[in-house]
Structure 1
Amino acid sequence: MGIVTPGIVPATTLMAEPVPAWLGRWTAFAADLQFSDLPEAALDRARLVLLDSLGVIAAGMREPECRALAERLAARRTGAAPAIGSGLSLDPRDAALVNGAAGTTLELDEGNQYARGHPAIHVVPAALAVAQEVKASGADLIAALVLGYEIGARIGIASKLRVTMHPHGTWGTVGAALAVAKLHGADAAMIGRAIGLASSLGLSTSRRTMLEGATVRNTYAGFSNQLGLTAWDLAESGFLPERDGIGTVYGGILADDFSADAMVEELGTRWEIARNYFKRHAACRYTHGALDALAQIRAESGPLDPDSVRSVEVATYVWAAQLDHPAPETMLAAKFSLPFALAAALVRGEANTDAFRDEARADRRILALARRVMVREDPAMTAQLPSLRPATVTLTLADGRKLSAKALTNRGDTEDPYSADDVRDKFRALAGPVWGAERSEDIIRAVAGIEKAERVGALLALVA
């Protein structure tokens, strides 16, 4: 048998080679970036992303497993970093883990359609934990958040993650590490070291976890945040990364077809955080086109008796068409079931957080209706990815009438965005049960003026 892989380049030769041009440009860009360099469009969205993330983390922290994890970690060691909305203070690394996990639990965290993932929830918990530790200003926090979001999203854009992988817990680790390095005032060399180390720390995530409802999936983003802090500790301790770990890992290990050009295309002028999306349906984004089409039908037809719906037909793109299990066994699995999400929305009026809990999953009307939902892939719709996320929903009623509607994009996408008021209303709905109306409004005001804060401690005290 012949040798099928090249030999190892000696370390002295390897370290003498220059870093790839794209990476050198990126580390210099990140080191030089100041808050004042950010355009208003990126700043506006960053404030909303921060607010939205705080809301989804606090609401997720109310789930039993997230609360139990926070309590277990607090019993072992405490620190100054809050497990948001819990009243518990943790070591920063533990807080980054718990807050990241809580932020994905309800499937309401923001995302980026071009990156095919959720950059913010991989960055915000790590940035908050470190900002408290280094006594960062609000402007420092926002700059770090935008940078971490940018590099994570661009890795997602520049590569094609393996289809068996879940995007959580992969390139988000690099985003977290960059945010942490920036908050520590790292120069270009140390930024390169930290993100290079982080590239080797991505998880072996399984896509099946979301389909089976295995809630280990909710921890993936938490570990990305925690490992982002660890990457900085490793960098400061003198550990060395592969010369181009990002290119290697996302060019042939976790992903393929890494494009160095995509990493620097319009760098500094096109900001990925300004192209994000927010979510109002508490379910996998692949279900949102169909849920939006159903909402159109309901708006045009008026009240519908769910028991009068003989069948529901859904034509959509490939990733959404895979979510066709009509009888999910857990809350997470229900959020990744198009039949269940549509049936719950028809019976309960909307696909909110309660639509996927135990009570809803035991509702015989929802379960019976979910079995009458047929989902199929339309190859023409698949071909419209990633810019469009189309779905056509057709209801056949007992009296023979057919009601149909089509959505080309998801509400909240760049092409059909939610307004700032919509995002704030979502925050109020999630935060109110945790903090009450008065404190929720205080948090909204604090985030709206975050760049004026000399320290982030006041905001963290509000959400602790």
Structure 2
Amino acid sequence: MDPIAFVHAFSWDDLPNDAQKQVELSLLDLIGVGAGGLGTRLSRIIRAHAQEEFAGTVPMFLDGRGASASGAALAAGMTIDALDGHDGFNPAKGHIGAPLFPAALAVAHEVKSSGRAFLEAIAMGYEFGARISVAQHATVPDYHTSGSWGAVTAAAACARLLELDAETTRHALGIAEYHAPRSQMMRCIDHPTMLKDGAGWGAMTGVSACKLARAHFSGAPAITVENAPAFWADLGQRWYVMEQYYKPYPVCRWAQAPIEAALALQSKHGFSAADITAIHIETFHESVRLAMLAPSNTEEAQYSTAFPVAVALMRGDVTPEAISDDATKDADIQSLSAKIRMTEHDQANAAFPQKRLARVCVQTAKERFQSDWHEPKWDHTAPPTEADLRGKFHALADPVIGHVAACEIEDTLANLAALPFSALSDQLLRPISASTTIGRTA
């Protein structure tokens, strides 16, 4: 099917039942990660910026202050990106949901969408985003952030929600592609900062592109949509929402195979973190580039391989608290991280990006332990259970919004196809405390 026609022709009923359930779980996961990211400095800064610089009446995600739809999408996208725990797509080396959901959330609220229409925009967006991500990566030598192709994905979802005609949609996609943040991902890997994966800027650009196109601003064509037919051939036949991975840990996916290898080795042989004298990680080039042995803030900790491995070996898990700004000051974990050496391996390089492989060797004073090759948990080939994802959602959301509110969101998502979208947005676009709305206690 023609991609632009698909934007508007797709129906919720086109999706198999298991794919409909996966859309629900992906949204739940994104909401949980966004709740977990709300307390970061990054999120606080960007929400204040959106209120000050993007005046409007769309309430921001779990904040309640008003911004324009574009500003609200920016704030929510960067809040989700602030905690690197959201779903992803291996061939894209990136994340479809992080720019898609915030844009659709803002616009669906603005147009008073039905729950079904919102779900259709999200489901369509996963299929659109999977294909445009691969199409863009095939056209340029640089590896760009998710926000680059995510902007076009967000524009497709918003064009559907705004009920733009086909020609206006065509211009919206072209505007979004041209204005998208073509930010270099490896620059942020080498120098981790709050720039992250461009999800917020992609969401903002997608909303803005649709509003401009609706006002007759011209911008067609989107080259990756109109001039790359090979990437769109299976549209409406293969459901890529079923091929997303999820993250058990809120750090870069490239660090998660080493975490699994280290934990498996520790579980098998029973050594403690105090026993370790040296660690050698063999993995692929991009993971080795996450070379931040001694991070000083959460952005550096999330874009490190060594530090999360040290956290896992010390604590048995990697939680948001364990990679927070304050946690990076833990001298014992910093000391263990400094014992890690990382090298590339041809086998891991050859498998990337479809697979992310790593193996770990741990040296103690008495013995040397070598792991097998490991992949990250919760890939689509060995996916998490529904209970796994619901457990992750509550672990992230309950401390922020409370267990009762989290359960209400969960129940609403399960029934959203038969509800007005306001049943969900009333819960998501509200302040959770005085400190989130005005920056100070009452």
Q: TM-score, normalised by structure 1?
A: 0.87
Separation of aligned partners in 1, 2:264 and 2:59? 41
Aligned-pair distance for 1:321?
1.9
Q: What residue number does 1:225 align with? A: 203
Aligned-pair distance for 1:259?
4.6
Aligned-pair distance for 1:239?
1.8
Aligned match for 1:35, one of 12, 18, 21? 12
Are 1:176 and 2:154 matched, yes or no?
Answer: yes
Aligned match for 2:320, one of 353, 376, 380? 353
Answer with 71-80 or 105-114: which moved more. 71-80
Q: What residue number does 1:11 align with? A: none
SS in 2 for 1:395: strand
Separation of aligned partners in 1, 2:294 and 2:392? 28
Relative to 1, partners in 2 of residues 1:135 and 1:369: Cα closer, same or farther, differing over 3 Å? same
Q: What residue number does 2:192 align with? A: 213
Contact 2:296 2:329 survives alignment (8 Å): no
Q: What residue number does 2:415 align with? A: 449
**Equivalent residue runs for 1:129-148 within 5 Å:** 129-148=106-125
Contact 1:344 1:360 survives alignment (8 Å): no
Separation of aligned partners in 2, 1:325 and 1:54? 28
SS in 1 for 2:195: helix
Separation of aligned partners in 1, 2:299 and 2:309? 15
Aligned-pair distance for 1:76?
6.2
Q: What residue number does 1:367 align with? A: 334
Relative to 1, partners in 2 of residues 1:296 and 1:259: Cα closer, same or farther, differing over 3 Å? farther
Deviation above 6 Å: which 4+ runs of structure 1? Answer: none
Are 1:85 and 2:62 matched, yes or no?
Answer: yes
SS in 2 for 1:396: strand
SS in 2 for 1:389: coil
Separation of aligned partners in 1, 2:102 and 2:224? 22
Gaps spanning 5+ residues in structure 1: where? 1-21, 249-257
Aligned-pair distance for 1:427?
0.7
Contact 1:61 1:84 survives alignment (8 Å): no
SS in 2 for 1:169: helix
Separation of aligned partners in 1, 2:47 and 2:213? 27
The aligned amino acid for 2:28 is L
Separation of aligned partners in 1, 2:225 and 2:68? 32
Q: Deviations over 1:286-319 (max 9, x none)?
A: 01111111221232233x3212101111111121
Identity of matched residues, %? 29
Aligned-pair distance for 1:247?
5.9
The count of corresponding residues between Structure 1 and Structure 2 is 427
The aligned amino acid for 2:300 is A
Aligned match for 1:410, one of 376, 399, 409? 376
Q: Deviations over 1:415-447 (max 9, x none)?
A: 111111111111101111111111111111111
SS in 2 for 1:337: coil
**Structure with larger Rg:** 1
SS in 2 for 1:143: helix
Are 1:126 and 2:94 matched, yes or no?
Answer: no
Contact 1:395 1:404 survives alignment (8 Å): yes
SS in 1 for 2:91: coil
Aligned-pair distance for 1:138?
1.0
Q: Deviations over 1:207-266 (max 9, x none)?
A: 322332221236x21111111111111111112224343369xxxxxxxxx8530222x2
Contact 1:345 1:355 survives alignment (8 Å): no
Q: What residue number does 2:250 align with? A: 282
**Equivalent residue runs for 1:212-291 within 5 Å:** 212-217=191-196, 220-246=198-224, 259-264=228-233, 266-291=234-259
Separation of aligned partners in 2, 1:372 and 1:164? 32
Relative to 1, partners in 2 of residues 1:439 and 1:245: Cα closer, same or farther, differing over 3 Å? same
The aligned amino acid for 1:268 is G
Aligned-pair distance for 1:90?
3.0
Aligned-pair distance for 1:115?
2.0
Aligned-pair distance for 1:119?
0.5
Q: What residue number does 2:269 align with? A: 301
Relative to 1, partners in 2 of residues 1:108 and 1:38: Cα closer, same or farther, differing over 3 Å? same
Q: What residue number does 1:12 align with? A: none
Relative to 1, partners in 2 of residues 1:306 and 1:69: Cα closer, same or farther, differing over 3 Å? same
Q: Deviations over 1:180-199 (max 9, x none)?
A: 00111233322222112211
SS in 1 for 2:255: helix
Indicate the RMSD between aligned Cα atoms, in angstroms. Answer: 2.0
Q: Deviations over 1:399-419 (max 9, x none)?
A: 1x2223234431111111111
Aligned-pair distance for 1:387?
2.7
Q: What residue number does 1:391 align with? A: 358
The aligned amino acid for 2:195 is V
Aligned match for 1:155, one of 132, 142, 146? 132
Separation of aligned partners in 1, 2:53 and 2:350? 51
Contact 1:164 1:208 survives alignment (8 Å): no
Aligned-pair distance for 1:174?
0.3
Answer with 401-410 or 419-428: which moved more. 401-410
Answer with 422-431 or 291-300: which moved more. 291-300
Contact 1:410 1:416 survives alignment (8 Å): no
Separation of aligned partners in 1, 2:370 and 2:141? 31
Separation of aligned partners in 2, 1:122 and 1:406? 35
The aligned amino acid for 1:344 is V
Separation of aligned partners in 2, 1:76 and 1:380? 48
